[in-house]
Structure 1
């Protein structure tokens, strides 16, 4: 359930206020395009963080409570002619999530609720003048329904003991709601003041202790019509594909090598399009350590490999998972 560990909003802005947004200022366009594209890529960590075992079969009737922490630091990649330079950040992000497994048409399914909270500091220069920004609070909550279509039957704990994975095919839809902290007088916010919708296809194939996974997805965004003093900010879809190579030990410990490529996300302010389309890759590592039937720990690390525009950062995280329900203890 690595999907829960990765929110890390970023960028620079200290002295800007809403009055600056009304002038036909190319600098404002650079700020708006660069900052929000970067923030969207990291604050919406679902677009940049790999999620191994998202479609693994799980006994029905289980509940999961998950808490996690991630430290991230890095820089923002802007177009060469941008007035923004040396933009760097560090972020501490936490998340609390609840997951419920259930039966859909004889196949296993899950429902997730994810609430992120973040604090960060960022600094850089704008036309040679230093700028900085610090912020903490809640981001936009996310809701996700995952349904396996093939290879992951809905099973009780007793029947699940004899289950062995072969090929699993599943789908999911994640929705981000505009309920996070937002101030229209600031370029940077923890909340995005817009909806996002992410449908995804997941394929997982096991060969003994090895599992290979691939999951293509696309994220659609509604417009933010109250951006920086009443402007309209829009963003094209972000297309992504992630892959994982996992190895599971007899003890239940598993580890994964993770990779993700994502592209798109071109932004526009009041209909004027930018030249900030993303084409970025990231790689990471995940290690899961079961403690007992109800508790487990997860360690993760990731870094950027190539970045056209947007955020280029490294992150390390730790997560704790507690499970309960009818299947636990059988």
Structure 2
């Protein structure tokens, strides 16, 4: 007997690139059976302008990064509403050149990136369901919220201006809406990222950063057999930095466009291909990204 389409189309956990405000994440708020676990292994490659932190004071950057990402997620029942907790840990290899105060610099480094933990809850339209109940579920309108914490676990050298880690915490609340219109699903999410101070920035200085607000829009088309594709866009602004009390001219107003294709290999395995590119960048976001993620899911009666 063929597997019901809702089971084959279980959403892949998004695998972030390198910076939260720049993530393009379709299907961030979707439903899945309670008790299902997701294990994701991913790889992403970027080339071009600065992709680790657009607010660092370098120019003419030409950097390449290769990132391996390991992620785990579990679907929960929170007072009758479906929810998901996920943990993401990246490992990155970075090399390239740039200019700092008009002088050329070169950087080659590899190591851990900053880890992220997130809890997302579907507040309306996606109740907590068992596997048997989920077989009959069809999405209409979903309203959701999430809260993510990024910890300073990444490789960091205060004598260098380009690093894999940020040496600070960040906190990101987000709201989202997802509306199904037959095979088409439209999504819109909005959030803000807040940062603690980096008190050991580039020679022991103190660096603070204003919040970055962002909006994402996705048009997702669901094909037969659990295949889906999306056209994605994100805009983010803010993030102006201050170093030892001196305000920098690094306000971000950046657009990115992307596309995603996901398809199941079985009821337990899925693959996702994704790409994005900077379209308009006031500060350091003119890089290209391409990635792949393999997902394995189990539990919850699958």
- TM-score, normalised to structure 1's length? 0.84
Of 184, 195, 202, which residue of structure 2 is paired with 1:210?
A: 184
For residue 76 of structure 1, report the CA deviation from its aligned partner. Answer: 4.5
The structure in which a higher percent of residues are helix is 1
User: Are residues 1:229 and 2:203 paired?
Assistant: yes
- Partner residue of 1:22? none
Q: Is the 8 A contact 1:5 1:69 kept in 2?
A: no
Q: Do the aligned partners of residues 118 and 311 (structure 1) sit closer, same or farther apart at CA in structure 2, a change above 3 Å counting?
A: same
Q: Which runs of 5+ in 2 are unaligned?
A: 1-11
Q: CA deviation at 1:126?
A: 4.5
Map 1:38-187 to 2 at 5 A.
44=19, 46-76=20-50, 85-126=59-100, 129-187=103-161
**Which structure: larger Rg?**
1
The CA distance in 1 between the partners of 2:68 and 2:57, in whole Å, is 32
1:247 CA drift (Å): 0.5
Structure 1 portions without partners, runs of 5+: 8-43
RMSD: 1.7
Distance 1:272 1:125 in 2: 20
1:282 aligns with 2:256: yes
TM-score by length of 2: 0.91
- Cα pair 1:298 1:320 within 8 Å, conserved: yes
Deviation at 1:326, TM superposition (A): 2.3
* Distance change in 2, residues 1:126/1:55 (3 Å): closer
Extract structure 1 runs of 4+ deviating beyond 6 A: none
Single out whichever of 215-224 and 83-92 deviates more from structure 2.
83-92
Alignment of 1:24-43 (within 5 A): none
Deviation of the 1:84 alpha carbon: 5.3
From 160, 163, 173, the equivalent of 1:199 is 173
* Alpha-carbon displacement from aligned partner over 1:31-58 (angstroms, at most 9, x marks no partner): xxxxxxxxxxxxx2x2112100011111
Q: Does 1:4 align with 2:21?
A: no
Q: Is the 8 A contact 2:13 2:40 kept in 1?
A: no
Residue 228 of structure 1 deviates from its aligned partner by 2.0
Q: Deviations over 1:177-235 (max 9, x none)?
A: 11221222222221111110000001000011110000000000000111123210000
User: Is contact 2:195–2:209 with CA below 8 Å preserved after alignment?
Assistant: yes
Which of residues 244, 252, 259 in structure 2 aligns to 1:270?
A: 244
Matching residue of 2:8: none
Report the CA distance between 1:112 and its aligned residue. 0.4
Q: 2:233 aligns with which of 231, 254, 259?
A: 259
Distance 1:2 1:262, change over 3 A: farther
1:287 shift after superposition:
0.2
